Structure 1
Amino acid sequence: MPVTSENKFDNIKRIILLSPLFLMVLFASSVKGQRNELGFFFGGSYYIGDLNPSKQFAMTRIGAGGLYRFNINENLALRVNGFWGNIAGSDAIVQYNENRNLHFRSNIFEISVQGEVNFLLFTPGDLDTPSTPYIFAGGGFFRFNPQAEIDGQWYNLKPLNTEGQGSELYPDRKPYSLTSHNFLFGIGYKFNITRQFTGTFEWGMRRTGTDYLDDVSTTYPDPEVFGNNSLAIELHDRSLENRGENVNFQRGNPNTNDWYSFAGIILTIRIKDFSRHRCPAYN
């Protein structure tokens, strides 16, 4: 069926973006207020996979979200993220894959946790420790939904089983889940703006637990598996040459899972300013 709205998962998106607020309330009663930060992320998101094997920042689209950070000490911090982004890929940007002629787009809704290690001593709001580069790593879960376009209309790809998933002809190809996990890592740079606000530049990669962010993974199936589903027949093989004659030829690389990335700026505020707690030892 045609996609009537890109906001099908609006409720999930709201939960993800608001989750740091609930975590802030949960932790504020049990830890020192000065160690807590609440913030917002704005930047871009992009994808690395079968339709873009190596070009960093190719087809970057808008990403945004919220986060909660607990500073353990001047070198270590823990963070919870609720991020949303949009990713896309196309054979049109990879010269040697032009004939395959596939493309996709997908929303990403992520909840994740990461640990941060500061290279220099850093305390949010302390202008005597003005800035530091840092590295981070962690993991989380995310929701996605690959779509492709025909004549201006976008269609969800998973229900079409474009590689014969779930058919008797290909019993080893199981339908994939639209929810998966990730392992994330990256680098960033924090700097105190005032005693209340901290800024951050951050770039993080996500290695996912799925090879179907783009709905592309293995070989072309026999079109017979689609029966009279003309939409699946059209979207599974869009080759510029030999269309419909690629049965068992490689459609994607099943040996590597897909990646996506968030990169952008973060603005956080110390929750101390909204708390009655005071802790002179950590100011």
Structure 2
Amino acid sequence: MRILILTTCLLLGVLGTKAQEEPEYRMEIGAGAGAQSYVGDLDANLLRGQNAMAGVVAKYKPNPRTAWAANLRFGKLDGSSSNAETVYPVLNGEAWNFKTKTVDFDVTFEYNFWPYGTGQEYHGARPFTPFIALGMGLTFANADVTGLDNFKKSSTGFQMPFGIGVKYKVANRLNLSAEWLMHFTGTDKLDGLADPYGIKSSGLFKNTDCYSTLQLSLTYDLWTKCKTCMNDDD
């Protein structure tokens, strides 16, 4: 009986040591797809005008609690003055419709509510966690407008994405995440209609256009953390 107990303890010790020797990865790389929608002068409804978007994502993970995520997305926005709750003087009662192609790049800081991982590379890590994200980036937009005089208008503006998400370990090196972000931009030209009341736009919040993104991403772990650092908590 004593031999059985001693053998069991030794096996548990070996398995525990082996679990902590599983590699911890610093990087993730993959792709995402989802929907994005316009929020601005012509429409404040987040659920209206959903358009497909897709992109690539890379993440650097300093520790199981945090990550820096870089996203490059390609998508579309559209809208119409018929959805607006206000009559804009600049339109003179005429219809205004736009379709805008967007390219945006941003870097966000993600904070996980719980340590994220398989639990084999970091003690106490969980394969599922919600997170919050905040960052900065750029948005490039090309609006194709019909109404009044038809024209195309390009614009570039800083953007600040902020939102929430969840991530899940599908396998040891495979991650699935769902993320919703609101992008506050420094431009009022995503819809081609700049300063409809003659109030000059400024910063990221004064009379500027916004858009939201809902993205599902699949990423693969890369870049093994050095073994001499395995016991570090950072």
TM-score (norm 1): 0.62
Could you say which residue in structure 1 is the equivalent of 2:80?
A: 90
Separation in 1, partners of 2:120, 2:100: 40
1:109 aligns with 2:103: yes
- Following superposition of structure 1 onto structure 2, how do residues 41-60 of structure 1 map, counting pairs within 5 Å? 41-52=32-43, 54-60=44-50
Separation in 2, partners of 1:210, 1:183: 12
Separation in 2, partners of 1:88, 1:126: 46
Separation in 2, partners of 1:119, 1:106: 36
Q: Is the 8 A contact 1:125 1:196 kept in 2?
A: no
Aligned length in residues: 196
Could you say which residue in structure 1 is the equivalent of 2:164?
A: 187
Separation in 1, partners of 2:24, 2:112: 20
SS in 1 for 2:82: helix
Q: Call closer, same or farther: CA 1:155–1:278 in 2, change over 3 Å.
A: farther
Could you say which residue in structure 2 is the equivalent of 1:212?
A: 189
Residue 62 of structure 2 aligns with an amino acid whose one-letter code is: I
Residue 209 of structure 2 aligns with an amino acid whose one-letter code is: D
- Following superposition of structure 1 onto structure 2, how do residues 198-209 of structure 1 map, counting pairs within 5 Å? 198-209=175-186
- Following superposition of structure 1 onto structure 2, how do residues 227-246 of structure 1 map, counting pairs within 5 Å? none
Per the TM alignment, residue 203 of structure 1 is displaced from its structure 2 partner at its CA by: 0.4
- Which of 253, 260, 264 is equivalent to 2:211? 260
Residue 208 of structure 1 aligns with an amino acid whose one-letter code is: T
Separation in 2, partners of 1:143, 1:271: 30
- Following superposition of structure 1 onto structure 2, how do residues 24-39 of structure 1 map, counting pairs within 5 Å? 34-39=25-30
- Following superposition of structure 1 onto structure 2, how do residues 71-82 of structure 1 map, counting pairs within 5 Å? 71-82=61-72
Per the TM alignment, residue 156 of structure 1 is displaced from its structure 2 partner at its CA by: 3.9
Per the TM alignment, residue 218 of structure 1 is displaced from its structure 2 partner at its CA by: 2.9
Per the TM alignment, residue 217 of structure 1 is displaced from its structure 2 partner at its CA by: 2.5
Separation in 2, partners of 1:211, 1:102: 15
* More helix per residue: 1
Separation in 1, partners of 2:167, 2:119: 11
Separation in 1, partners of 2:222, 2:119: 11
Could you say which residue in structure 2 is the equivalent of 1:173?
A: none
Q: Call closer, same or farther: CA 1:157–1:268 in 2, change over 3 Å.
A: same
- Following superposition of structure 1 onto structure 2, how do residues 9-28 of structure 1 map, counting pairs within 5 Å? none
Over aligned residues, Cα RMSD in angstroms? 2.8
- Which of 212, 222, 226 is equivalent to 1:271? 222
Per the TM alignment, residue 96 of structure 1 is displaced from its structure 2 partner at its CA by: 4.8
Separation in 1, partners of 2:33, 2:152: 28
Residue 104 of structure 1 aligns with an amino acid whose one-letter code is: F
SS in 2 for 1:55: coil
Separation in 1, partners of 2:85, 2:159: 29
Separation in 2, partners of 1:34, 1:211: 41
Structure 1 segments of 4+ aligned residues over 3 angstroms from their partners: 94-100, 124-128, 250-255, 277-280
1:146 aligns with 2:146: no
Could you say which residue in structure 1 is the equivalent of 2:15?
A: none
Separation in 1, partners of 2:67, 2:79: 34
Deviations 1:223-276 (A, max 9, x none): xxxxxxxxxxxxxxxxxxxxxxxxxxx48885511101211211011124xx7x
Per the TM alignment, residue 130 of structure 1 is displaced from its structure 2 partner at its CA by: 1.4
SS in 2 for 1:257: coil
* More strand per residue: 2
Deviations 1:185-236 (A, max 9, x none): 11000011111211011100111111111121335xxxxxxxxxxxxxxxxx
- Which of 174, 179, 197 is equivalent to 1:197? 174
Separation in 1, partners of 2:218, 2:151: 35
SS in 1 for 2:171: coil
Unaligned 5+ runs, structure 2: 1-22
Per the TM alignment, residue 34 of structure 1 is displaced from its structure 2 partner at its CA by: 1.2
